[in-house]
Amino acid sequence: MFTDRRDAGARLAALVADRIDPPAVVLGIPRGGVIVAERVAAVLGWPLDLVVTKKLGAPGNPELGIGALAAGVRVLDREVIAALGISPAWIEEESARVELEVERRTTTFRADARPPEVTGRCAVVVDDGVATGGTARAAGQWARAHGASRVVLAVPVAPPDVAQRVDDAFDAVLVLEQPAPFWAVGQSYEDFDQVTDQEVRAVMEARSA
């Protein structure tokens, strides 16, 4: 069990330090992943940034992910889409709406800070955990599209089959805990309160101060 996201980040930093050589940049996935990523970056002395992703929810059931988006990147779960009979037109319409929200969140979270250089560095994508893997895949593909020399997913907790779920987006996957059965990311945290937009922005402002 992790006490909270900061505790998870401190423990994750040790694993990342053992497996990854700089130059590297830590990319947190908002919201909760940014809190974990801040600890990883602070412990290792590496630059911190974020990559905003957002789940594509199914029609009438937004909690059921059919894919995810990052800026300029879209990943889809085509098996689920086919099983639900979701039309390409609906996917395009929903994707356009989600893209606008990704842009808004990126502007809100990053404030006026310029992002660190990803090109030629190892991009360590950090979240507070992985459930289905959709948003992680979108983040990994975003980092690769921006020229990262290597893309690694580092999370405190994930299901046992996480590597298979995200293998098209990452060169390596680092996980501290893989409980079986896996129910939810929050099962491995004592404190898993929701992170606010203001908390994420505060982390990014402190980074650029």
Q: Give the separation between CA 49 and CA 41, rounded to whole angstroms.
A: 9
Q: What is the pLDDT of residue 115?
A: 73
Q: Are 156 and 176 in contact (CB under 8 A)?
A: yes
Q: How far is CA 149 from CA 119, 145, 195, in A?
A: 7, 10, 31
Dig out the tokens for 139 from the structure: 């983040």
What is the residue-averaged pLDDT of the chain?
Answer: 94
Q: What is the pLDDT of residue 146?
A: 94
Q: What is the pLDDT of residue 207?
A: 80
Q: Give the separation between CA 164 and CA 162, rounded to whole angstroms.
A: 5
The domain segmentation of the chain, as residue ranges, is 5-52+115-208, 54-108
Q: Give yes or no for residue 81 having a pLDDT over 80.
A: yes
CATH class label, 54-108: alpha beta
Q: What is the pLDDT of residue 114?
A: 73
- Percent of the chain with pLDDT strictly greater than 70: 99
Crossing angle for the helix pair 32-44 and 197-208, to the nearest 10 degrees: 20
Q: Give yes or no for residue 14 having a pLDDT over 80.
A: yes
Mean pLDDT of 162-190: 95
Q: What is the pLDDT of residue 209?
A: 62
Q: What is the pLDDT of residue 208?
A: 64
- The end-to-end CA distance of the chain, in Å, is 33
Q: What is the pLDDT of residue 203?
A: 93
Q: Which long-range contacts (CB under 8 A, 24 or more apart) does 132-136 make?
A: 132/65, 132/77, 132/165, 133/162, 133/165, 133/166, 134/55, 134/56, 134/65, 134/67, 134/68, 134/75, 134/77, 135/29, 135/53, 135/54, 135/55, 135/68, 136/29, 136/53, 136/166, 136/169, 136/170
Q: Give yes or no for residue 175 having a pLDDT over 70.
A: yes
Mean pLDDT of 58-62: 91
CATH class label, 5-52+115-208: alpha beta
